[in-house]
């Protein structure tokens, strides 16, 4: 009986600690940094060096596109749909698919 009461007390304390941590901005920032670190580690595992460099350059120019590509690569890796590491050519294909049609700019001279 005492063990059950102790367990209940411990559970209540842990739940209260978790609620306090979730509410504080520091805890949210820490959780965000942890997620970013996990995402980078996953990308490092499934991408070649050239592909990571290209993704970094894309991130500088178009951050939203880079986020979409990262999410897509991670989901492919989690499903096991990648055959080995994603190389530069495969990344180019993903970029073409996600970015869609290029915008053509026509300049008319008078």
Q: Calculate the dihedral angle through the C-alpha atoms of 78, 81, 84, 86, rounding to the nearest 10 degrees.
A: -80
C-beta atoms surrounding 27 within 10 Å: 13
Q: Is the pLDDT of residue 18 over 90?
A: no
CA nearest neighbour of 15 among 4, 26, 3, 7: 7
Say if 42 falls within a structural domain: yes
62 within some domain? yes
Domain that holds residue 53: 31-78+86-93
Residue 54, domain member (yes or no): yes
pTM of the model: 0.62
| Structural domains in the chain (count) | 1
Rounded Cα distance between 64 and 28, Å, is 22
Answer whether 69's CB lies under 8 Å from 94's CB. Answer: yes
H helix intervals, the chain:
2-23, 25-46, 49-61, 63-79, 88-99
Interval 67-82: pLDDT, tens:
989 988 888 888 888 8
Name the phi and psi angles at 63, rounded to 5.
-60, -40
Domain assignment present for residue 99? The answer is: no
- Residue 26 has a pLDDT of 73
Q: Taking all residues of the chain, what is their mean pLDDT, rounded to a whole number?
A: 81
Q: So what's the pLDDT on residue 51?
A: 92
């Amino acid at each position: 009986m005492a063990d059950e009461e102790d367990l209940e007390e411990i559970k209540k304390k842990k739940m209260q600690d978790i609620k306090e941590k979730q509410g504080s901005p520091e805890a949210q920032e820490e959780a965000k940094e942890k997620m970013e670190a996990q995402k980078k580690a996953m990308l490092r595992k499934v991408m070649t060096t050239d592909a990571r460099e290209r993704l970094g350059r894309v991130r500088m120019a178009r951050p939203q596109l880079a986020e979409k590509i990262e999410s897509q690569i991670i989901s492919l890796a989690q499903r096991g749909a990648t055959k080995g590491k994603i190389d530069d050519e495969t990344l180019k294909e993903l970029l073409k698919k996600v970015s869609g049609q290029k915008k053509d700019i026509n300049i008319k001279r008078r």
